[in-house]
Amino acid sequence: MDPLESLKAYARFPSVSTDPAYAEGMQGARDYAAGLLQQLGFLVEVVPTERHPIIYAERIRNPEWPHVVLYGHYDVQPADPFELWESEPFDPQVREGRLYARGAADNKGPTIVHMTALARVLEKHPELPLNFSYVIEGEEEIGSPSMAKFFETHGERLSQADFLLVSDTGSPNAQQIVVTTAIRGLVDLEIKLKGAKGDLHSGIHGGAVYNPIQALTEICASLHDGDGRVNVPGFYDEVFPIHEWEREQLQRYPETDESYREMLGVAGFFPANGLSPLEAVRFGPTLEFNGIGGGYQGAGSKTVIPSEAFAKITCRLVANQDPTKIQQAVIDAIEARCPAALKLSIRCGGSGAPYMVVPPGRPGAAADQPAALVRAFESVDTAITQAFGQPPIYLREGGSIPVIGDFKKRAGLDSLMVGLFTPEDNLHAPNESFDLSIMERAIDAFERIIQEIAGVK
């Protein structure tokens, strides 16, 4: 299996899940990934969903053997704006050691890494004493709406496994790999305030009515204290504490607060609860305003009191926080602070649970971790060190992959998350690429990891 040519072929399919115009590309990518798994000796099932089917494949030889589930997704983000790409987004091109294409890093490159490593190990050990399941979904970029039903039909089979292996997280550069120990959960809300039945003349009616924009901004401002702390009762009650070993690992991270500030182009930071900026994006929960609007938006001025105003809010949650509880706590706070003169409506969007696994041997690690997971964590340290020249950093990540929490909740599986993309890869942006030096070294590392889990050399 040639990893570069396989990735080129996979990336040529424009598998944009959010846009029905790309249905043919979605099917092409799905068929290609399923075909690769069949070549590896997997029994492949394409599970129908309301939108994009899920690939579920198994290579189960002996129920007494360790069992690993691998996860990936074949869908990608839209490539717009096309004019900012230096080459066509679905015509993969190699330039200066990188493969440029939409989905090259997120998540088609890491999937090819896993499959190539499997192919090489199975070529050397056709009777490898290790069972595999593979889940490749087509809706990760739109929130994995079909995975809930998939867990209803396949959760019991997945629960027979020992752990989940994932490469859908990041590392700081091509030399320093991060093993992600936690990802944040997500809560989505939109609030709308309505006043008069229509926009009002601000001269004739100003001073008599409560302006929805004024009320909205007052409510939004009330959701944080002056130091940036979220001002919602109970918001921090169940936040998982920060262990000293985590701060020690963060000290190895090759970025400083200052280099982070320069990269973002901001004048300064505003972290809450005494955390540093780099700690805040990993260890702390947030409440953010993602959009706000109301009234006249055109050129010049229009002297109206708008009838409506809205704000879009998301919360990023850390381990132990319950999305349902947090969502309700935020709603309760907003309702309590809404003026009686205005009508409040709240749309509850999607949510996802946070997830955390403490590596074996660290303070806070679960005592009942499966032996195969313990071996996997032990082997990843050695394998990454050998392949990349230095040991991985074990860190929480600020982003959200709700399906990882679902694997834990619905199938009882903890995850080993090895980050294979870097900031240079431009995920979700024009000129996405995948570092080919990472690809080859990661294949070597995963070969070693798979062999160590199976107990072969």
Angle between the 402-411 and 147-158 helix axes, to the nearest 10 degrees?
A: 40
Angle between the 436-454 and 371-388 helix axes, to the nearest 10 degrees?
A: 140
**pLDDT band of 143, cuts 50, 70, 90:** confident
d(CA 232, CA 286): 11
d(CA 411, CA 151): 8
Looking at residue 224, what DSSP letter applies? B
Model confidence at 8: pLDDT above 90? yes
d(CA 254, CA 172): 7
What pLDDT is recorded for position 364?
86
What pLDDT is recorded for position 350?
84
Residue with structure tokens 């396949």? Answer: 154
**Which homologous superfamily is 3-183+354-454 in?**
Zn peptidases (3.40.630.10)
Model confidence at 168: pLDDT above 90? yes
- β pairing state of 163-166 and 304-305: unpaired
**Three-class secondary structure of residue 270 per DSSP:** coil
* Cα dist from 436 to 69, 95, 377, 381, 432, whole Å: 25, 10, 24, 21, 13
d(CA 422, CA 26): 25
Q: Are 406 and 415 in contact (CB under 8 A)?
A: no
d(CA 378, CA 403): 25
Domain 186-248+275-352 sits in CATH at: 3.30.70.360
DSSP string, 89-116: TTS-EEETTEEESTTIIIIIHHHHHHHH
- Structure-token pair, residue 375: 């071996």
DSSP string, 315-330: EEE-TT--HHHHHHHH
Tens digits of residue pLDDT in 169-185: 999 999 999 999 999 99
Q: Are 6 and 36 in contact (CB under 8 A)?
A: yes
- β pairing state of 67-73 and 163-166: parallel
The domains of the chain are located at 3-183+354-454, 186-248+275-352
DSSP string, 327-368: HHHHHHHHHHHS-TTSEEEEEEEEEE--EE-PPTTSTT--TT
d(CA 157, CA 177): 31
Tens digits of residue pLDDT in 335-386: 999 999 999 999 999 888 999 999 999 988 999 999 999 999 999 999 999 9
Mean pLDDT across the stretch 55-72?
Answer: 96
Write down the pTM of the prediction.
Answer: 0.91
Model confidence at 258: pLDDT above 90? yes
Model confidence at 28: pLDDT above 90? yes
- β pairing state of 67-73 and 131-137: parallel
**Three-class secondary structure of residue 133 per DSSP:** strand
d(CA 318, CA 57): 32
d(CA 229, CA 273): 6
Tens digits of residue pLDDT in 106-141: 999 999 999 999 999 999 999 999 999 999 999 999
Model confidence at 457: pLDDT above 90? no
**pLDDT band of 29, cuts 50, 70, 90:** very high
Choose among 417, 184, 392, 415: nearest CA to 280. 184
Worst-scoring range by mean pLDDT, 56-70, 324-338, 361-375? 361-375
Residue with structure tokens 């080459």? Answer: 87
Average pLDDT, the chain: 96
- Structure-token pair, residue 456: 């072969």
Q: Are 292 and 269 in contact (CB under 8 A)?
A: no
Share above pLDDT 90 across residues of the chain, in percent, rounded to a whole number: 96
Model confidence at 402: pLDDT above 90? no
Choose among 338, 273, 292, 348: nearest CA to 315. 348
Tens digits of residue pLDDT in 153-166: 999 999 999 999 99
